[in-house]
A and B are shown apart, each in its own frame.
Chain A
């Protein structure tokens, strides 16, 4: 009984000791309004500013168009606006290339597009007429955008040119359609003559049909039509054979034989089919002919997120990680610099109680901050929550556990507050670049990805995005990852604190 009482007493004292740090940290936070501002309101404001201010759009570039000094090229930007509908905001059209380049040097314009001169000559000469796109961009991402949209704009221009060309070239297609109609009419007449036993007329029809056939075969649009219609390379080859056999039979005085009728029937069918294809193709709009393939991409996620919705969960994870790492690392270093560690060494308290007390305190405060951030994201920024909120709580809890552990580990390494702050900033930088915050993990080399997987934010971002945007439970491996990072950091930090608090 006495032993049990002692055990309860010892356990009770341990709880009191752990809670001493719990309350101390809460009091210390409450008594520092600036800290509350930076810990609680700071993330709110950052997130709110992000939500309100992030446009999620491609850049807009002020563009100057340099056209040849030719009356056929108007200088009113409105005439060209439909060609510059992407990132290029066309403000000036000029024929003075030098002035345009000066404007580019003086940063008065972002992009100068130079229309090629002697376009017709070059194309007729079998050369490409190239647009020059001049820009002064140090940001590689922006430069890539310019190149990409330049290519898109030129492709669009090419398409329009081809469409115009095809539009102008509709006549050959229509002539081909007419020729196939004539051919089909001759084939019908031949069949009728054979069935009527009119050998003389049939001989004349054979000749007329052969002539119509050659006309069709010689039409420029014939091969294109066959290609578009998906017919064999020369669908009239069989017709040649049939006509030759019928002609030979007629020469021998045979008319209206079953074989002749079969061959004339096949001839009618072939020419009829050819006429149908040719007429249909002649009716296809030029812009479809010039650019026959389109694309319709379908995002199969339940709700397609906006840019804010996509980034907001990662921002929450990053903010929580950074605050947790900063608070826990600075707290232990500060205790050490204050000399409190000396008191802890003499007092009946162990490193685990110190760390556990601080963890509970920071965990509670940051849990409140995390919940508030989540509510802001959900209801303030309108980010959807397609999954279970309890998974959000689990993910944030594990994220805080691992981040606090990482902070304590940093505090075991740092000897001064400056060092702790620097290390926390390094973790933040690593998180931004390697945590999948805005660069997908797949874009990193595999060896560099190993850095990503020791950062709590990597797993935290994945989990929050999965729960909120995909509506699924977090992958077990990410939860194990968060727990593992935290556990390893706590073990290493506790080992280090044990040494610091032990006898020298």
Chain B
């Protein structure tokens, strides 16, 4: 099966199973057989500093997993532990069913890694750079031409293949790096802040590429400082100061950050009685008057609750101008998450589910 992209470039699809069939049973993933990554209570300490603390998470195959958080939050350290560059101080970590520091060459051939900084060779041409990347991964001379072309066309650099890397724009260099990461057709792709410092249009293109890769069966683990990019991930892990702030799908994280789903009620008749009425309704988790005519109602499930609210308030004689579900922006979500981590740090003992 081939997956057709919108540019008509066929990417080779990946088998749903990521675990190496030849791997001894004892080395198979301990937590979940189909997990690309399984981390349990993983910590990393440098000297007296805990850079990463007690991370527990799984990454399913064929999904985009975002590691999101502010600078210095432990994203790159987490990724480097997943890559086997660093070994966790405590906890257990399995990537492709094996502890990363015990990766064999065959395991590494299945990884793609795009570092945060541009590490291609400026004096080499686009073609030579990507050819070098293919060679480092042991791709034979006979079969690599097609893959190189595929990768360069995928990032729209085929026409620039003879230009030296030094003469490419910043965005083109990042695309070349992505192509070099993909050229050997990896199963598990690590992208360390791939969209940092590039313009929004190109950023959107990158996410198109990532979705295409996911749709072709690959697993992507992406770190980013842009919290709005959380929306593009299938699951996210939010980190602050090396601690897990949240994990789940974007909606789950949003719900967790906001305490539930949010409905805004707009009415000129809002009064104390109306607020108490709403607060007493089943399924309502919290009520806050944010403006004189606007209530923020936190509920477990916004869908059915909109009708319930409308009926209840109208029955009480209020004129309702508007009832809408509010999807909090991830900027707001992350502010809440970061505040929650700060509060948790101030009050040890609370845990994040």
Shortest beta-carbon distance from A8 to chain B in Å: 12
Q: Which of B80-88, B223-231, B316-324 contacts A (4 or more CB under 8 A)?
A: B80-88
Q: B17 at interface (Cβ–Cβ under 8 A)?
A: no
Q: Check if B121 sits within 8 Å of A342, measured CB to CB.
A: no
Minimum CB–CB distance for A348 against chain B, Å: 4
B331 contacts chain A at the CB level, 8 A cutoff? no
Contact among A24, A342, A346 for B108, CB-based, below 8 A:
A346
Report B-chain residues with C-beta under 8 Å of the C-beta of A339: 115, 117-119
Q: Is A344 an interface residue (CB 8 A)?
A: yes
With contact pairs A17-B135, A17-B136 given, residues A346 and B119 touching in the complex (Cβ less than 8 Å): no
Do A16 and B113 touch (CB < 8 A)? no
Choose, from B138-146, B205-213, B306-314, the stretch at the interface: B138-146
Alpha-carbon distance A222/B119, docked complex (angstroms) = 97
Contacts of A14 in B (CB 8 A): 138
Chain A residue contacts of B105, Cβ below 8 A: 10, 13, 348
Query: Smallest CB-CB separation from B177: which chain A residue?
Result: A343
Pick the contact of B86: A10, A338, A503 (CB < 8 A): A503
Nearest A residue (CB) for B128 = A27
CA distance A343 to B135 in the complex (A): 13
Interface digits, A448-473 against B, CB 8 Å rule (1 contact, 0 not)?
00000000000000000000000000
* Cα(A75)–Cα(B115), bound, Å: 84
Interface contact B140-A12, CB-CB below 8 Å: yes
A14 CB → nearest B CB, Å: 8
A31 touches B135 (CB 8 A): no
Q: Which of B85, B101, B123, B139 contacts A346 (CB 8 A)?
A: B85
| Complex interface: chain A residues within 8 A of B108 (CB) | 346-348
Knowing A348-B105, A503-B87, A504-B85, say if A338 contacts B119 (CB, 8 Å): yes
Known: A27-B128, A346-B84. A340 touches B119 (CB 8 A): yes
Known pairs A346-B84, A348-B137; A28 contacts B115 (CB<8 A): no
Count how many chain A residues have C-beta atoms less than 8 Å from C-beta atoms of the other chain: 27
Check if A28 sits within 8 Å of B138, measured CB to CB.
no
Q: How far is the CA of A228 from the CA of B35 in the complex (A)?
A: 110
Pair B123/A28 contact, Cβ less than 8 Å: yes
- Judged by a CB distance under 8 angstroms, whether B106 is at the interface is yes
Q: Taking CB as reference atom, which chain B residue is nearest A350?
A: B105
- The answer, yes or no, to whether B124 is at the interface (CB within 8 Å) is yes
Distance of A336 from chain B, by nearest CB (Å): 10
Q: Are B87 and A31 in contact (CB under 8 A)?
A: no
A183 to nearest B CB, angstroms? 99
**B115-A343 in contact (CB<8A):** yes
CA distance A343 to B112 in the complex (A): 10
- Residue A32 at the B interface, CB < 8 A? yes
Residue of A nearest to B121 (CB): A28
Contact call A23/B132, Cβ cutoff below 8 A: yes
Contact in complex: A348, B84 (CB < 8 Å): no
Does A19 interact with chain B (Cβ within 8 Å)? yes
Q: How far is the CB of B349 from chain A (nearest CB, A)?
A: 32
Q: Digit string of A315-350 for contact with B (CB within 8 Å is 1, else 0)?
A: 000000000000000000000001110111111110
Whether B111 contacts A346 by the Cβ 8 Å rule is: yes
Q: How far is the CA of A17 from the CA of B132 in the complex (A)?
A: 9
State the Cβ distance, B320 to closest chain A Cβ, in Å.
57
Using an 8 Å CB-CB cutoff, how does the interface string of B267-303 with A read, 1 for contact, 0 for none?
Answer: 0000000000000000000000000000000000000
B119 touches A343 (CB 8 A): yes
Residue of B nearest to A26 (CB): B128
Given A12-B140, A32-B123, A346-B83, A19:B135 Cβ within 8 A: yes
B124 touches A27 (CB 8 A): yes
Check if B325 is an interface residue, CB within 8 A of chain A: no
- Contact among A23, A28, A342 with B119 in the assembled complex (CB-CB below 8 Å): A342
A20 at the interface (CB under 8 A from B): yes
1/0 contact string of A282-302 vs chain B (CB within 8 Å): 000000000000000000000
B85–A345 touching, CB < 8 Å = yes
Task: Point out the residues of chain B lying under 8 angstroms from A32, CB to CB.
Answer: 123
| Cα distance, A346 to B118, chains bound together (Å) | 15
Measured between beta carbons, the chain B residues less than 8 angstroms from A31 are: 123-125, 164
B12 at the binding interface (Cβ < 8 Å): no
| CB closest residue in chain B, given A345 | B85
Q: Which residues of B contact A503 (CB under 8 A)?
A: 84-87, 100-101
Measured CB to CB, the closest approach of chain A to B338, in angstroms, equals 28
Q: Evaluate contact between B87 and A504: CB separation under 8 angstroms.
A: yes
Q: Which residue of B lies closest to A22 (CB)?
A: B135
**A495–chain B nearest beta-carbon distance, Å:** 19
CB distance from B132 to the nearest CB of A (A): 5
Q: Which residues of A contact B118 (CB under 8 A)?
A: 339
Determine the distance from Cα of A32 to Cα of B122 in the docked complex, in whole angstroms: 11
Once the chains bind, are A343 and B124 in contact (CB under 8 Å)? no
CB of A38 to closest CB in B, whole Å = 14
Query: A20 to chain B: which residues have CB within 8 Å?
Result: 132, 135-136
Say yes or no for B109: interface residue by CB 8 A criterion. yes
Question: A361 to chain B: closest CB distance in Å?
Answer: 12
Contact A17–B86 (Cβ < 8 Å): no
Which residue from chain A places its CB closest to the CB of B135 in the assembled complex?
A20
Within the complex, the shortest CB–CB distance from A360 to chain B, in Å, comes to 13
Mask of A342-364 contacts with B, CB within 8 angstroms, 1/0 = 11111111000000000000000
Given contacts A23-B132, A28-B124, A349-B136, 17 further A-B contacts (CB under 8 A): A12-B138, A16-B138, A17-B136, A19-B135, A23-B135, A24-B124, A27-B124, A28-B121, A346-B85, A346-B111, A346-B190, A347-B108, A348-B106, A348-B108, A348-B138, A503-B85, A503-B86
Q: What are 10 A-to-B residue pairs whose CB atoms are below 8 Å?
A: A16-B141, A20-B135, A31-B123, A31-B124, A340-B121, A342-B85, A343-B115, A345-B83, A348-B106, A503-B85
3 A-B pairs with the lowest CB-CB distances in the bound complex, closest first? A20-B135, A13-B138, A348-B105
